[in-house]
A and B are shown apart, each in its own frame.
Chain A
Amino acid sequence: MTRAWSVTDIRSMEGEREQFAHVVKHLYRPAEHWEQVVPELAESRGKALGAESPTFFPSKGPDWSAVPDAYRRCVLSDHDRLYAPAYREALCDAEAAGRFGQLESNGPGPGWAFVDSRGVYVIVGERKMQAPKVRTAYRVLPPHASSRRTEDFFKAAVRRLRDKSSYPERGS
């Protein structure tokens, strides 16, 4: 499988609503333990809480239109400061390690998945006549909640990469 682009060509998540949704659904989700990737996260969570968050990090995320402005600003700031740098770093790490594969008909369009050494799983969508874009970035949950070491997340992510994509290529 070949790509006509490199990870440096990939656009980050676009649109505040999309960025907000993914930060709340993934970066703030306790079960994904993003503090292993972004040590500053604990402090940020506290700030978001202090900004009158409507509900404490629900897995489904609060309604964008219903959240207070201060909370929304905190979340969007965390996208730019913490989440986007983390998933962009993950893309570079995964590409350097050859840990990526093409997704075949199991998403909303053509795409690729990348897994970095910290167990961050990034899905990149290819778009017609546009630069590819990050569709989501999350940490694959290990089979059991009791497994929460970085190594557990890494193994879980690589295993799902194998299951869902062309990775590993034959002969690699």
Chain B
Amino acid sequence: MDPVAWLQKAYDELVELGGSTAPDPSDAWRAVALIARLVGSPNGPVPPADVLQRLPEFLATAERPDVQGLLDRVDEGLDVDEDAGGPLLDGLLDVDDAVGLLQLNGNETVALELARRVAGLVALCPERVLALGSFAEMRLATLRDDAVVGAVWRAVEAAPAYVLAEALPAVGEATDLIEPLAARLTWLEDAWHQVQGSTGDVVHAVATGVTASQGPAGGTHVDFAANLGKPREPSVELVWGEVRRFDIPLKTTVKLRVPPACQLWYRTSAGSAPLTESAWQLEAGESPVLITVTESTSAKSADAAVANGARAAGVLLVQVDDEGSSAS
């Protein structure tokens, strides 16, 4: 999600709410929350002056936050094994809104305490918030470094680090991890050489926020975010012209976030096609699977993209059994 677009949506909605002559308590609450988002941003649009003038009216109309109720909502969301983007993320956004309202009302101490306690709850259940890492990253991009509510989103963003050490599958770094497979599989050898041949100026694609969590079917969910930007720690580097190998158990989902100007493709022994979901769950009989990223938006195939000079990088997914040895 784009932080600029997210703030712009807040601005647009605030303008609509600002036109309301008699806001009810929930509208007033929302208006205050949106004002807090905008004034708390280092570089977003500022609230319209006429709406900002009505802040005292909105604060007087909005009900006071129920701090214990907010903590309960987050606690409940963390405890239930359900889509993290549902009630759990709602609960975190409720806290975000409440912190903004408390601060604008001059209750800095309560705001700080609420944010800290929610950050503490999140830290106790890092595996539950792994899927929210991208959202937290976006929200942090809309906040000043010293923002009180930043503690909540930093706790979400940092969650992968706690889980990573134990759950991250081995990452292949050496060419000899690919070679034995390529020697046996002609399609893989061809695709591998194609990726290797695509490199021009070496530009590093950096995979950040490598995360893992238990999926609904007991599989491991790996969030593997590739950005063509500044490297962050911890990071796993992808390099144009190289294929990195991941040895993963069945049912593991590998997800890639790539820049808009790139396309994803998958290739197995059964053939090759565009990968529209930016994710692959490894099923029985599929291994090995090569996911290719090409720096192109209009090619009809990975082959065509590379033939037209697009750079490419790859991720080779190899099934590993429960004992940790590769099945392919």
Question: Which residue numbers of A lie inside 8 Å of B, CB to CB?
Answer: 18, 21-22, 25, 59-61, 103-111, 113, 121, 123, 125-126, 128, 135-136, 138, 140-147, 152, 155-156, 159-160, 162-164, 168
Contacts and interface: CB of A to CB of B under 8 A. Distances in A.
A126 B216 CA distance: 15
A128 B89 contact: no
B30 interface: yes
A113 B157 CA distance: 23
A136 B90 contact: no
9 contacts: A60-B76, A105-B134, A109-B253, A109-B255, A136-B86, A138-B87, A143-B98, A159-B13, A163-B6
Interface string B81-98: 111111101100110011
A160 B90 contact: yes
A103 to B, nearest CB: 6
Contacts of B86: 107, 121, 123, 135-136, 138
Contacts of A106: 1, 84-85, 89, 131-132, 134-135
A105 B83 contact: no
Closest 9 CB pairs of A and B: A105-B134, A107-B85, A106-B85, A106-B135, A104-B1, A110-B277, A135-B83, A136-B86, A136-B83
A105 B134 CA distance: 6
Contact of A142 (B26, B87, B93): B26
B73 A141 contact: yes
B83 A123 contact: yes
Contacts of B83: 107-108, 111, 123, 125, 135-136
Contacts of B89: 106, 160, 164
- Chain B: interface size category: 35 or more
A61 B83 CA distance: 15
A25 B89 CA distance: 16
Interface of B: 1, 6, 9, 13, 25-27, 29-30, 63, 65-66, 69, 73, 76, 79-87, 89-90, 93-94, 97-98, 131-135, 215-216, 221, 253, 255, 257, 277-281
A108 B79 contact: no
| Candidate in B79, B82, B93, B255 with the most chain A CB atoms within 10 angstroms | B82
B278 A110 contact: yes
Contact of A110 (B65, B98, B279): B279
Contacts of A111: 83, 85
Given A106-B84, A152-B26, A155-B27, A162 B135 contact: no
B30 A159 contact: yes
Contacts of B279: 109-110, 128
A108 B134 contact: no
A2 B215 CA distance: 27
B277 A60 contact: no
B93 A128 contact: no
A145 B93 contact: no
| Candidate in A22, A104, A123 with the most chain B CB atoms within 10 angstroms | A104
